Amino acid sequence: MAPPRSDDLLIRPRARLVERGIELAIRSSAFIVIAALVLIFVFVGKEAVPIFTSAEVHEEVTIGSMVAPRADGAFSWQPVSMVPKYSLLPLLVGTLKVTFVALLLGLPVAVGAAIFTSEFAPQAARELVKPAVELLAGIPSVVIGFFALMVLATWLQDAFGFVYRLNAITAGIGLALAVIPIVYTVAEDALSAVPQTFRDGSLALGANRWQTAWRVVLPAAMPGVFAACVLGAGRAIGETMIVLMASGNAAMLSLDPSTSFRSFSATIAAELGEVVHGSAHYHVLFFLGAFLFVVTFLLNLLGHWYIGRLRDRLQGKSRRPARSP
């Protein structure tokens, strides 16, 4: 019996076995991710439920008292106090304020950069810009936060004379740095996915490159670009470290972007570490966490649903925006 042949016979079933093992491992890793997601949600939800059900917690806080103004008409977040006060409004306004600033600054840059790289940039520039923006995503948010806290805050205060060094504009710029890579990557993919025939048709009809990009490619990729923006918004709302470091964390109820603010995520990060376990404050923080989880989950869902629509559209199920011949 020649050894090579016997080896050959032996390896095949073993290889098949190995292959099945790998397949099983890959499949179970996918399920582990889903299970982790579900378990996290169950855990966060479970810790938030006493807000609705526990009489002990209701002595200190109810959904009503978190939403309605206090007797003196003020909304205040003072969880560590003789009379703890848990108004969500200042935190909600703060979170939305910084998200708005971040998106206002981040989206035009990110979408503009995506249009540039997919439509106008020469190959060399494209190969430089795309990895560079995507590298930005790899910067730990604590580093961006530190930069905003130490450098950006001083620059902006010197330039504009803000009373508060740490404010929604400082934190918003930091947050924009975190949002840009996400929006850019998804938007760029969406724009690149528009079939070359669209561009060729438009150019053949006499449109210039700008008209083609703005009137043909962008509308065709709109669901993807919109999805990118929504995913960016999800990131901005949930981002913690940057706002914790650069917002000043004062729970002021003010729409003015040059004042300090306190966001949901930073509140959880700052307060959960030393809260008394099982107290009303503890459950309120988990309630905030559950709320954030649901909001970002819905935003992500919305984003992915729109990306799905883009795919349908480009595959010809609806070719409304570009009636190229």
Partner 1 sequence: MRIVLLSAMVLFVAGCGKREEPQSGAALADDGIIVTYSRENNSGTYMYFKEHVLDNADFATNVQTLPGTAAVINAVSKDRRSIGYGGIGYIKGVRALPVRKDAASPAVAPSLENVVSGSYPISRFLYFYTIGEPEGAVKQFIDWTRGEEGQKICAEVGYYPLPADKRATPGAASAPAGGEKQTLTMKGSDTMVILGQRWAEHYMQKQSDVLVQVTGGGSGTGIAALINGSTNICQSSRPMKPKEREQAKAKRGKEIVEFAVAMDGLAVFVHESSPLQEISVPQLKDIYTGKTQSWRDLGPAAK
Residue (94 or 130) nearer to partner 1, CB: 94
Contact residue for partner 1 among 253, 288, 292, 322 (CB under 8 A): 253
Contact residue for partner 1 among 54, 62, 65, 76 (CB under 8 A): 76
Using the rule CB under 8 A, give the single segment among 1-9, 33-41, 151-159, 209-217 that binds partner 1: 151-159
Rg of the chain over Cα atoms, rounded to whole angstroms, equals 25
Closest CA to 103 of 199, 229, 217, 1: 229
Which are the contacts of 146, defined by CB distance < 8 A and separation ≥ 6?
245
User: Do the beta carbons of residue 119 and residue 218 sit within 8 Å?
Assistant: no
Mask 26-45, x = binds partner 1 (CB under 8 A)?
Answer: --------------------
Residue (77 or 184) nearer to partner 1, CB: 77
User: Do the beta carbons of residue 139 and residue 180 sit within 8 Å?
Assistant: no
Using the rule CB under 8 A, give the single segment among 4-12, 42-50, 159-167, 192-200 that binds partner 1: 159-167
For 73: left if phi > 0, alpha if psi spans -120 to 50, otherwise beta; the answer is: left
Which are the contacts of 308, defined by CB distance < 8 A and separation ≥ 6?
none
Contact residue for partner 1 among 25, 36, 150, 205 (CB under 8 A): 150
Using the rule CB under 8 A, give the single segment among 70-78, 177-185, 188-196, 314-322 that binds partner 1: 70-78
Whole-angstrom Cα distance, residue 168 to residue 249? 10
Q: List residues near partner 1 by CB under 8 A.
A: 76-82, 85, 90, 104, 149-150, 153-154, 157, 160-166, 169, 244-245, 248-253, 256-260, 270-279
